[in-house]
Structure 1
C-alpha cells in the first residue's frame, strides 16, 4: 500500500528541501506518514476553493506550491483563515505539503517550465547555483527561435498563460525587437538590476511594483536594458503543476494525481482599463 511517506520521498527526490531558500517553509504542514495515499490534488495555493476541491474529491493529500504556513502564526483557531483551512484538512484526513523555492530552481521547475513553454533555447539560470540538475538556480534566460516584436512576445506569453483579470501587461515600445529573454516565475522585481536581466531584451515576471519598474525603464532609456512583461503571480506558477503531477505519477504509479483548474489569483474583475 502506498502511504504519505512515499509521496514525501518522491517530492524530496524531485525538489530536495535543502535547496529551498533559508527563509522558506517547505514540506509537510499536516498529515501522518503511514496514512494511505490514493489521490493527490496539486494547486498553487491552499485556499478555501482548493481545500473544497481536495475534500470533495476525497484526496489524501493536497500539494501546493505556496506554503500555507510560510509566515509565523500564533493560533490555528478556526475563526482564523489558516486555522479554518487546517482544521478542515485534518478532519478530512487530507495531508498538506508544499514545494516552493525548492521547486523554483531545478530543471522542470517553475521558471524552467515557462522557458520551455515559450520555446526558448540556450537556457541558463539567472542566478546559477549548485544543484541536482544540470541547469539549476533562480530564474532563466534564453533566446527565442527568432526575433519578434515586444507585442508579439507579449501575445506569445498570453497564449501559454491561463487567463486572469490582469492579463499580460507590457512596458516598452510594442514594435521593439526582442530575442534574448530573462524570466522569473512569481515575484521578480528583486532581480531587475541583475546583469543577466539588464542584458536581456525583455524581462518576464510577476508583481512588478510601480517604482522599481519605473526606475528600470528609465535606466533602460539611458543605458539600454529590457522591456518588461508582467503576468499574474498565480498564472506564472500554475504552469509547473502539470509537469509536477506527471513526475510524481511516474514515481508513484498507483496514485492518482490531479491538477486543480480553479483560479487562485485573488482578483475577480477589473474596470476602466486602457489598452
Structure 2
C-alpha cells in the first residue's frame, strides 16, 4: 500500500467537495497539520469536539475530517486553556491533522442533501439553491417520493431513517396532508423557507427551525408541511458517504473510519405525562 501525504488526501477531497462551492461566510479547509506528513488513516466525524478528537487519536488516525469547522468566525487565540485551543494542542501533539468540508460538502454532487434524497428514494432531484457555475450543484435538494404518503407516515419514516436523537422529528402542519414532493435542507434551513414555498413542494425537512420563522411560514395558504429534525440527524448520514468517496478516490490506499458518536448537544427531552 502506497503512503499518501496529507496534501494528496486534501487534493482528493478538493476534487469531490470543491472549496469553491463553499458559501462566502464559511470556513473550510485545513485547520492544523503539515501538508507533507504521511496519512494512512482518516477518521470522519460531524463535529470537531473533544469526544471526536479523542476518538480519532485513539483510533490511530493521522487525519480527522469533520463537516463543521472548528473556528467558523475565526479566532485570536489557540491557547490550551480554551476548549478549542486545547483541541488544537491535542491534535498537534498526536500528529493528527484536522480538516473540514462544510457548505462545499452541502452543495457537492455527493453532498449532505443528496444523501438524504437517496435515503428517501427521491426522483426528479434538483438543488433548492442552484450554484451559479453549475446548476446541477447547490444547496439543498428537492424531488418526488416513490409514492404519495401522509405527512404522519412521512414523519415516522424520517424518524426511522435518520440517526436517533433525543428530540426525534417534529412536524408543523396537517399530519393528514398528502405528501408527494419534499425539499431537503440539512442543517439550519430557515433561511430557505420562502424559497422552498416558491418551489411548490408539499413538505420540507430541515433543522434548527426557530419559532417565529416557522410560525410565519405556516401561515401561508400554500405552506409546505415542515419537518424539523436535529442538526446532527440531518447531516451525519453524509459522513459515511464522504468516507466512501475518499476511499474510492484513494484506491483503497487509506484506512477510513467513521465516528460512531452522537454529538447532538441535546441528550434528553422532557414532556408532560399527559401531553398529546
TM-score normalised to structure 2 length: 0.95
User: Residue in 2 aligned with 1:264?
Assistant: 263
Could you tell me which runs of 5 or more consecutive residues in structure 2 were left unpaired when the two chains were aligned. none
How many residue pairs end up in the alignment?
A: 271
Question: Is residue 20–residue 100 contact of structure 1 (8 Å, CA) maintained in 2?
Answer: yes
The one-character-per-residue Cα deviations of 1:57-114 (angstroms, maximum 9, x if unpaired) are: 1110000000101112121111111101111000010000000010001221001110
RMSD in angstroms over aligned alpha carbons?
A: 1.3
Q: Distance in 2 between matches of 1:173 and 1:21?
A: 34
Question: Is residue 12–residue 249 contact of structure 2 (8 Å, CA) maintained in 1?
Answer: yes
The one-character-per-residue Cα deviations of 1:106-132 (angstroms, maximum 9, x if unpaired) are: 221001110111111100011112456
Question: Is residue 21–residue 108 contact of structure 2 (8 Å, CA) maintained in 1?
Answer: no
Q: Distance in 2 between matches of 1:216 and 1:48?
A: 37
Question: Is residue 67–residue 98 contact of structure 1 (8 Å, CA) maintained in 2?
Answer: yes
Question: Is residue 61–residue 94 contact of structure 1 (8 Å, CA) maintained in 2?
Answer: yes
Match of 1:233 among 231, 234, 246: 231
User: Residue in 2 aligned with 1:160?
Assistant: 161
1:139 matched to 2:140: yes
1:52-71 superposed matches below 5 A: 52-71=54-73
Question: Is residue 141–residue 196 contact of structure 1 (8 Å, CA) maintained in 2?
Answer: no
CA distance change for structure 1 residues 206 and 60 in 2, over 3 Å: closer, same or farther?
same
CA distance change for structure 1 residues 7 and 231 in 2, over 3 Å: closer, same or farther?
same
Q: Distance in 2 between matches of 1:168 and 1:85?
A: 32
1:85-100 superposed matches below 5 A: 85-100=87-102
Could you tell me which runs of 5 or more consecutive residues in structure 1 were left unpaired when the two chains were aligned. none
Once the two structures are TM-superposed, the CA of residue 135 in structure 1 deviates from its matched residue by 2.3
Once the two structures are TM-superposed, the CA of residue 201 in structure 1 deviates from its matched residue by 0.7
Q: Distance in 2 between matches of 1:159 and 1:197?
A: 29
Q: Distance in 2 between matches of 1:206 and 1:123?
A: 20
Q: Distance in 2 between matches of 1:136 and 1:130?
A: 9
The one-character-per-residue Cα deviations of 1:104-163 (angstroms, maximum 9, x if unpaired) are: 01221001110111111100011112456x721111110111110001111111121010
